[in-house]
Each structure stands twice: as C-alpha cells, then as structure tokens.
Structure 1
C-alpha cells in the first residue's frame, strides 16, 4: 500500500448475502450496522434488490440501514457498479472508481444520513434507466459507508472506509442473449514414477459470459486416449454466477491417467438459466503423455537383446584352433 504523508486509506466492503449484511470494524467495536432490501414500511424478506424495467423507465426502491451501535452513526450512501472478480466472486467497484452502469443510474435524496442508536432507517432511492440502455442484466449495489481514522500498532494513522452494501440486479427489457463460452483449455501432464499409478493431468479452462444475462453452470471434463478410448471423466464442477462480461478460470486435477503417448481432454460447461434450458458449450485440446517408465523398460530389454546378439555373432566368427 502506498502511503502519502501521515494518512493512508483502507477500504473494506461487505456485500449483502441472503441475510442482512453487517459490519463491526476491529478497533471500533461500538460501530455496528446492517443493510438489507426494504420498503417504506420496513424489510420485506428479499435477499437482493431484483427489478425489471424498460429503457427510459424510473424505479423507486428502499434499503434498510439498521444502526446496531449504542451511538448515532453518520453514513455516506451511494450507488455503484458490480463486477466479477478473477475467482468468480461478486464485487463492487472501489469507492474512488466512478460507476458507469446501474450505479450511475442510481440516485438518493441525500449523500449522508444519520441513523440513531439501535434504530433502522429505510432510505428511498431511484434508478432512472436511460432510453438507450442495453438489454439484459445490470448489477450493482447501494453502498453505506463510514470512514474512520484509526491508529495502527506502530502509530501509523489509517483512514478505514468500512462499507456494507445491498446487491442490486436490474434487468432491462429487450433481446436477451444467455451465452457462456469456453475461451481456452490448457493441459499439463506429469508422469508418475510407478507406471501402474498413471499420471496427473491438470486441466485449466477459462469460462466467459459473453451474453447479457448473469449465468452460472456446471463443468465436466472427459479424458481420452488413442481411438477415443475414455480414460477418465469428472463432473459436477460448479461454475459460479458470472455477470455479463465476467469470466473465471477453473482448474481440475485428475489422478491416475495412464500415459498413452497422446491424450485429449474435452471440456463441457452446461449453463444454468432461470427460464430455459441452454445448450452446453465445449472445447477440446490435447497433450503429449509419453510413458517414459515403459519406454525405459523396453529400451533396457532392447539393449539386452542387442548385446546378446552381438556376443553370439562374435562367438560364431572365432577362428577354430589348429590341430
């Protein structure tokens, strides 16, 4: 972390899961709060804020912010965009990064809100969908933030930005394209010292959401040798939900794969969809897998036979001793 002067910044974020998200900063045990989807009359049991709208439409919704502390808290509240991390997780943009999607369409009546101790405040917000908004899913969050200056053990002052958010999923009406793609498949094969054990094949594949709906899926790998002979098969690898444009790299290790000079791996990913069954996508590649232990044994046998043959030839050409 780059520190300028005596004050550094640290941002921590909790995103709403199927229970009200909450935060309790270490070093500030009296600062605790939770956030959840709500209405003008209070929470309605939703896990996330999931809405549908047409281009040009304006929506209104609420987030409930509950102060679980013993003193009033002042929150900065704003909308931002979401993205898929490298490991397939849902995340929101850093506070310093300006949103360009659903977060930029989100507006609140104020920037800062004070919530008394042990009290919930239901905060209204609106989403104004642009007339030229692209169809499909747009993900983001309504963030509540408290920035506090804290002092580390070595005396360094750090500005801690504690953020808790409610997820927002907005589907804009129009043509939807639910599509996953396997961009790349990479194979690595490591031969075992014991030929009977087979080797270890590592299969790494990149799954990319090239459509406009958030999608998850299930991955399967089939390993074959010469003439399509099946040597191994996996299944049930869960592909996490990917936002449009998001991708994740999946790695599987398969043990006991016999080296048959040339191995092929075919990867299938079957997308999971809310409304319809989608066709699986697949991609294949191959890797050389030389049975070096067997080659060494055969080489040793061949060498032994050659040596025996040479010795017999030499014995057959020895001159007969004179009488």
Structure 2
C-alpha cells in the first residue's frame, strides 16, 4: 500500500472527528472548552491530543464556527486556536481547505492530497508548521482574501490543524497517518442570493407479495441537488397513492442534511404493507429551507405497476373453468339429433308407449279383414275355421 493511499484513507476516516463541526451554527454565551483530538492506537505512548477552535489574538471568543459576510475583494484577519493536550510538544500542519457534502450527507473536508479551489484557497497562514508545547494553546493568525470575481452566495471550508504521524502496522509496515481537526468556515459573498433545489431522479420499486391482502414493500429512491448558491436544508415526505389519487401511505417528514451549493444527496424510503393495487404512485414533496427563507415546495412523482398476481390468477382460472363448461354445453347441444314436430292432432311417436303402439297395430289388422292365404301350400285347419279378429281357443270343441 502506497503512502499516498494510506494518507487518503486515514484522512477520510479521521475527518469524522472534526470536533467543532458537529453542531449547527449558533452563538455560544461562553468560550467552549477545547475537546481532545483522536487518541493514538493501542500500545502507543505519548499520543497527540489537541483541539481546534475559532479564537482571537487574546484567546477564544466563544464562536463555534468562522462565519463571515463579505463583499468581493475584501480582506480580513482572524485567529484559530490550537491547544496541545498531550504530554509532549507536537508539530501541527495548519492550512485552509474546501468543504463538500459527502454521499451520506455529512459535512466533509477535502483530503490532504487535494488542493483547495474555493474558500480554502483564499485562506493564508504565515507559515504551515507550528510546534506547540505540551499543555499550551497558540492562537495562529490567518488572512482571508475574497477575490474580486468571487461568485455571490455561500462558500464553505475549514481551517485545519493536522498531525502527520508514522505508525507501524501489525504486519510491520510503516505508514504515514494524517490526523486532522478543523473549525468550519461559512463565508457569504455579497450579491444576489438564489436558493434552489431540484429532484433529479425518482426510482420506485415494489416487492409484490404472494398474499395480495398482506401488502408488500415499496422502496422510493430520489436524488436531490442544490442548484442554488446558498446552503439548503429542510425536510422531505413521500406519499403513496393508488389509482384515482387515493392515499395509501405517507412517511414521516425526513430531515435533510445540509446541502452545500452544487451538492447532491440520495434519499431512500422503504414503506411496508402497501397493497398491490395495479398502479402505485410515489409523490416526493420537498420542503426546503435556506438560512434566509423557506423555498417553494418541490414535488415530483413516479409510478410502478403492482399487479395482484395471485388474485388475477384465481380470476383467470375461474373464467377458464366457466368458459370450458359453456363450450361443453354448446358442443353437447350441437351433437343431439333433431326430430320434426308432430302435426296438429297427431301424437308424437316418440312420446307414445310401445305397448299401445302394438295394440293399435293389432286393431288395424283386424279391421282390414282376413289375410289372404299363400298361393302354395295347404291352409291350416285351425286358421280356416277361425273368425277374423278372434283368437282360436285350443280347448273349444269344434262345431258339429
């Protein structure tokens, strides 16, 4: 691992330890007590511990930050107080740098290997290195010169007191660690103030549940950008609406971090228990504020399809079953043989019992008379003496 890479990583980790940069700007009634710097690693002795705060030629003034309101071309002189809280002299690297909003919304300062291009480059210290005895404080003067062509609005940075220390890692490598503490600098350059914030993108995703009545998770991600020239804060709310604008869920107002001019920040909101109602719309409402005034609300919407698949599958199955039954009935009706309707006064043959049809046939035969005998062969005696239409009885004696 190179020394430069180690220095960058250590600077990023220790930037969160900025002591004076953890509270919003507010006047303090008394001089704040200096806080110790980061402690040394385990097993080290004589670790450097220090504090950095706004001061004056006669000592701390009770300010939490350097806050200025200057015109282009102006110059002022101020002091930063660095207190050595350790038990041995320490040499500090004192300089100015620029600030930016990190991806997680935190106030951050440029790493040591990146040169300042804004307010940090306008700060000049008489010399870079200052050796401070143990238990002592030194009020170091610096000059801040605003360029004549400086853009109006907010310019943010910090005055850093850093200690570069060579340490040995567990595997025996020697690395240079840059430990830094800083006091913030908030500079407002006179001129037109233009606060503005935009919602650049809104992405909505929905985890469709198996049970449509249980509801699913709706995740809304949106990116904010400070397009103005002043710092922006405020709050944001997400409202979930069903078709026809019916509200389904609403998040509690989320406090936005301090967005410096040009900064972007991504917000992620997860809303649980949202029912799948075919189409869901997420409405992002930004109530932004600046140090001067509140901004008009910024609203942006995006939608996502949320089909109740299980319910639609059940409905499709029921519709298919009903259609199949209808088709079978139609097919059965088409395959049945058709019969003509009986004439008026005539009985339907299909509705007449078979025995009645036989009796009718026999009666018709009797009314027609005897059946002529065949041309060949003798006629049976019983048949010759029988009366037409009367059955011959075998037990009846013949007539004499």
> TM-score scaled by structure 1?
0.93
Q: Determine the structure 2 residue equivalent to 1:126.
A: 143
Match of residue 176, structure 2, among 142, 159, 171? 159
Pick the structure with more helix per residue: 2
Q: Determine the structure 1 residue equivalent to 2:41.
A: 26
Q: Cα deviation per residue 1:16-70 (whole Å; 9 max; x = unaligned)?
A: 3247552223254521111111122222222211111110101222211111100
Residue correspondence of structure 1 range 1-323 to structure 2 within 5 A: 2-3=1-2, 9=7, 10-11=10-11, 12-13=14-15, 14-15=17-18, 16=20, 17-18=22-23, 20=34, 22-27=37-42, 28=44, 30-316=47-333
Structure 1 residue matching 2:59: 3-state secondary structure? coil
Structure 1 residue matching 2:73: 3-state secondary structure? coil
Structure 1 residue matching 2:327: 3-state secondary structure? helix
Name whichever of 230-239 and 241-250 sits farther off: 230-239
Q: Cα deviation per residue 1:273-294 (whole Å; 9 max; x = unaligned)?
A: 2222221111111111111121
> What is the Cα deviation at residue 87 of structure 1?
1.4
> What is the Cα deviation at residue 168 of structure 1?
0.7
> What is the Cα deviation at residue 8 of structure 1?
5.2
Confirm or deny: 8 A CA contact 2:3 2:176 kept in the other structure: no
Structure 1 residue matching 2:256: 3-state secondary structure? strand
Name whichever of 18-27 and 247-256 sits farther off: 18-27
Structure 1 residue matching 2:178: 3-state secondary structure? strand
Q: Cα deviation per residue 1:181-214 (whole Å; 9 max; x = unaligned)?
A: 1111111011111111122111101011000111
Structure 2 residue matching 1:88: 3-state secondary structure? coil
> What is the Cα deviation at residue 93 of structure 1?
0.7
Unaligned runs of 5+ in 1: none
Q: Which entry has the higher C-alpha Rg, 1 or 2?
A: 2
User: For the residues of structure 1 that align with 2:310 and 2:281, how far apart are their CA atoms?
Assistant: 21
> What is the Cα deviation at residue 304 of structure 1?
2.3
> What is the Cα deviation at residue 307 of structure 1?
3.1
User: For the residues of structure 2 that align with 1:132 and 1:278, how far apart are their CA atoms?
Assistant: 27
User: For the residues of structure 2 that align with 1:318 and 1:8, how far apart are their CA atoms?
Assistant: 88
> What is the Cα deviation at residue 120 of structure 1?
1.2
User: For the residues of structure 2 that align with 1:4 and 1:97, how far apart are their CA atoms?
Assistant: 15
Structure 2 residue matching 1:196: 3-state secondary structure? coil
User: For the residues of structure 2 that align with 1:137 and 1:162, how far apart are their CA atoms?
Assistant: 27
Confirm or deny: 8 A CA contact 2:231 2:291 kept in the other structure: no
> What is the Cα deviation at residue 79 of structure 1?
0.5
User: For the residues of structure 2 that align with 1:211 and 1:4, how far apart are their CA atoms?
Assistant: 38
Count of equivalent residues: 320
Confirm or deny: 8 A CA contact 2:152 2:193 kept in the other structure: yes
* Aligned CA distance change for structure 1 residues 296 and 212 (closer, same or farther; 3 Å): same
User: For the residues of structure 1 that align with 2:167 and 2:188, how far apart are their CA atoms?
Assistant: 40
User: For the residues of structure 2 that align with 1:192 and 1:34, how far apart are their CA atoms?
Assistant: 54
* Aligned CA distance change for structure 1 residues 4 and 166 (closer, same or farther; 3 Å): closer
Structure 1 residue matching 2:112: 3-state secondary structure? coil
| Alignment RMSD (CA, Å) | 2.1
> TM-score scaled by structure 2?
0.76
